[in-house]
Structure 1
């Protein structure tokens, strides 16, 4: 009997191995693992027309500091974002400035070959020695498969705008999306430098700490209820929900999710005792403030994010674990996570009262509101399933009144998948899922590379991956993801992952053999 069981086990493993090997080429194509955009850039006639701009850049004093100036723009975005929630024009102007500078920087760029290397050496020679680390990021490529998917997603959104029944309103949304995507491109460029990466994440974490401290102060001294959306008949109705500088508890919860993940991994990256104590303080303050928001979506995102982060940390350290724990560490973490959540819900009365409203369906007014909005949005998707109504909340607000249930007006779909589907149709939603697939695949590949070399930058990568999962989980029941304070953080996480991208080994070997002419 044991011999038969052993043979069946070996046969099953053999079949699984064969299926895996046969599926690998398809998986590589699906995740664009073999895509080599740098080959087009270095050999393209179209890109060659920009050589005069590249010669001008080498003689320009300002553009010698191009990456440093771009990093300063990015740092400024995250330094002021939570404090200008009532003044959208300030952040819009700053995003437009980032977009303009990125266009100037990119058009005057050299190739990823010897020409760019010579240009960089010339720039460094004219620059102070202490800024060399700023001006010379790692030699990772400027264009990645993530960039390709971002451009494809923008193209689908542009097509949805062109075919929208409210073209002017959709164009407004497309303009906003374009600013965010160009900000991603600028961040992916400057974050290739480890020093810039450290400064950008550090500035965001310090801004988030100030936001959390003010939120805790609101909890301590009381706060006027603003847009709390709590069912007055719920036991948790009397519990104040903090919103800090952002003016909305759900928005604050989404803003703090990346801060919690990044401050957790910062504890392992920062080496001195002082910074480690600061990281612990950030984790405690951000987590406490997140709890005080009373945001059920934020709590769901927090649980998903922490679980993924624990799994990634276990994978990182698995090479140091005994054989027994390599096998049973993941089930143990899963069981322990579920146990902690259950105990917290059972023992903490405010958490229990608030969390229980998730399961009462339409009996909770907030749930009932969202369900009615979702029903209306599904009807909108049914009428325009291919490319939707066009991107942006202005287009949504122009079409939604024709579908809304009485007394259930809404500014968005209150769900990221539904919002993307209603704005850009099934094609846009498929493209977005593809973008996520490519992003997570690259994140995993680069994590394996950093793990093999024990590079501490892998912790930032784990924080970015876990944050994306947390924001997506929160976004299943809310759309604060579209607010500038959150959308910039979303693209920061994707830019962090893209900044670690390196060319596959076989691509590096064949780079001189392949030419693509346009």
Structure 2
């Protein structure tokens, strides 16, 4: 059983044979001699971090076209770094599964019934994956990793502060986000700069996870107070979105985060707290949540609408969309219709109920089934499993060396759990403001874990250089 799991998560995979026969790998390092004389590329890691920071600064405020332009710039910079690589190229199990994921998307595009639309989606997906590759490379430095995360958290604080302001002073609702027949029909749902409360909820999930991590990673009381402020404001803003999917995702995020933080600190606790801390914490939180549901009427109404079935207009809309989506899956089961919302918008009208037009499947997992078939869904789940397994393995190593980089990994894993749960009932994951954050979470983990060196001939792989630099 252990051997089978090891193979599934690629913890002992060897790339030597592929490296020795790959034509693609021969492009790596072609211009390494030019790089040695380039003043600009001496600062390649800092430049990569700067480009990533610009992306996350502008993402909540800029247009999709602007984000796409920044992703193209990141892709060009990654290509430049790769062909001028001086050192032996190293990848992680996460990189390998991402490559398989891209290959399946390519196959889905080739067999798509709407190839031109699918090609557009494939190009966008490729840009996200290249962004992941660049981020996983430059975030190896603890200082750069901390810097990029700090930039994102400061931007998220501004976004969430504006969202809280909308709740306090009121804001026009841009669409019918509440059930017209519900007592909450006139309730305010904040959306900040992102224009949609569900999108804002998804954006805040990684911000909450990383800001909790910052409480423990950042040194100095002023920085810790700032991190605590971020946790409070981000959490309040997420609550004010009234996004039921984001609320459920928050529960999943906090559950995973508390379990991993308990594992991290357990050896420092007295025996009593080693045994009773988790039951007491989860029991207290459960009691507070139940009390809030009972005592706060808007929360109670919103929470129980989850279980209202078709009686809730939002639920009814999703159910009708899902019925059409299952028909699409039945006709394109193996490789789907091809990636991207353009392909979905082209094919979905053939199956939809005329009263329920939709831009997506309203579930990330169903969207993978529709776009990339069962192959794509299996690979996506495999990617999540490999990422979490690799992250937990590295957390163990960081714990032994008391390296606080492990706390960023804990936060990233919790964010992945939250985004995955949110993705069960919504597809904001496909919006660039969220998709870039998803791949950033994977890159944070991939940047810190063991890497496969291409030239090693046996199945053992070397340890990544784990910097002990403290913040």
Normalised TM-score (structure 2): 0.94
Q: What is the CA–CA distance in structure 1 between the aligned matches of 2:241 and 2:342, rounded to whole Å? A: 28
Conservation of the 8 A alpha-carbon contact between 1:142 and 1:189: no
- 2:217 aligned with 1:251, yes or no? no
Q: What is the CA–CA distance in structure 2 between the aligned matches of 1:278 and 1:50, rounded to whole Å? A: 42
Conservation of the 8 A alpha-carbon contact between 2:32 and 2:85: yes
Q: What is the CA–CA distance in structure 1 between the aligned matches of 2:132 and 2:176, rounded to whole Å? A: 32
Q: Which of the residues 204, 208, 212 maps onto 2:156?
A: 208
How far is 1:331 from its partner? 4.0
- 2:53 aligned with 1:75, yes or no? yes
> What SS does the corresponding residue of 1:236 show, helix, strand or coil?
coil
The match for 2:64 is 88
- 2:168 aligned with 1:220, yes or no? yes
The match for 1:61 is 39
CA RMSD after TM alignment: 2.0
The match for 1:5 is none
**Larger mean Cα displacement after TM superposition, 63-72 or 285-294:** 63-72
> What SS does the corresponding residue of 1:69 show, helix, strand or coil?
helix
Q: What is the CA–CA distance in structure 2 between the aligned matches of 1:70 and 1:39, rounded to whole Å? A: 31
Q: Which of the residues 237, 241, 260 maps onto 1:289?
A: 237
Q: What is the CA–CA distance in structure 2 between the aligned matches of 1:483 and 1:312, rounded to whole Å? A: 29
Task: Give the number of aligned pairs.
Answer: 460
Q: What is the CA–CA distance in structure 2 between the aligned matches of 1:425 and 1:44, rounded to whole Å? A: 28
How far is 1:503 from its partner? 4.6
How far is 1:48 from its partner? 4.7
Highest Rg: 1 or 2?
1
**Which structure: greater helix fraction?**
1
The match for 2:103 is 155
Q: What is the CA–CA distance in structure 2 between the aligned matches of 1:342 and 1:432, rounded to whole Å? A: 34
Q: What is the CA–CA distance in structure 1 between the aligned matches of 2:92 and 2:112, rounded to whole Å? A: 30
Cα gap change, 1:441 to 1:345, in 2 (>3 Å): same
Conservation of the 8 A alpha-carbon contact between 1:385 and 1:426: yes
Within a 5 Å distance, the mapping from 1:293-332 to structure 2 comes to 293-332=241-280
The match for 1:28 is 6
Within a 5 Å distance, the mapping from 1:97-136 to structure 2 comes to 97-112=73-88
Q: What is the CA–CA distance in structure 2 between the aligned matches of 1:336 and 1:42, rounded to whole Å? A: 57
> What SS does the corresponding residue of 1:285 show, helix, strand or coil?
helix
How far is 1:454 from its partner? 1.4
How far is 1:51 from its partner? 4.7
Q: What is the CA–CA distance in structure 2 between the aligned matches of 1:491 and 1:49, rounded to whole Å? A: 25
Conservation of the 8 A alpha-carbon contact between 1:164 and 1:390: yes
> What SS does the corresponding residue of 2:335 show, helix, strand or coil?
coil
Q: Which of the residues 213, 235, 238 maps onto 1:265?
A: 213
Q: What is the CA–CA distance in structure 1 between the aligned matches of 2:222 and 2:281, rounded to whole Å? A: 29
Normalised TM-score (structure 1): 0.85
Q: Which of the residues 293, 301, 308 maps onto 1:353?
A: 301
Q: What is the CA–CA distance in structure 2 between the aligned matches of 1:232 and 1:277, rounded to whole Å? A: 41
> What SS does the corresponding residue of 1:174 show, helix, strand or coil?
helix
How far is 1:512 from its partner? 6.1
The match for 1:188 is 136
What stretches of structure 2 of length at least 5 have no aligned partner?
A: 461-471
Q: What is the CA–CA distance in structure 1 between the aligned matches of 2:44 and 2:423, rounded to whole Å? A: 35
Conservation of the 8 A alpha-carbon contact between 2:412 and 2:441: yes
Conservation of the 8 A alpha-carbon contact between 2:14 and 2:458: no
Conservation of the 8 A alpha-carbon contact between 1:461 and 1:496: yes
**Larger mean Cα displacement after TM superposition, 326-335 or 285-294:** 326-335
Conservation of the 8 A alpha-carbon contact between 1:376 and 1:403: yes
Q: Which of the residues 395, 412, 420 maps onto 2:343?
A: 395
> What SS does the corresponding residue of 1:235 show, helix, strand or coil?
coil
Give CA deviations for 1:476-506 in whole Å, capped at 9, x if unaligned. 11000100000000000000000111259xx
The match for 2:327 is 379
> What SS does the corresponding residue of 2:60 show, helix, strand or coil?
helix
Q: What is the CA–CA distance in structure 1 between the aligned matches of 2:81 and 2:14, rounded to whole Å? A: 21
The match for 1:413 is 361
Give CA deviations for 1:324-356 in whole Å, capped at 9, x if unaligned. 543444444443333232122112221111111
Cα gap change, 1:474 to 1:243, in 2 (>3 Å): same
How far is 1:40 from its partner? 5.2
Higher RCO structure (Cα 8 Å, ≥6 apart): 2
Cα gap change, 1:374 to 1:514, in 2 (>3 Å): closer
The match for 1:463 is 411
Give CA deviations for 1:456-481 in whole Å, capped at 9, x if unaligned. 11111100000000001111110001
Q: Which of the residues 185, 188, 213 maps onto 1:237?
A: 185
> What SS does the corresponding residue of 1:386 show, helix, strand or coil?
coil
Q: What is the CA–CA distance in structure 2 between the aligned matches of 1:50 and 1:440, rounded to whole Å? A: 29
Cα gap change, 1:51 to 1:493, in 2 (>3 Å): closer
**Larger mean Cα displacement after TM superposition, 47-56 or 221-230:** 47-56
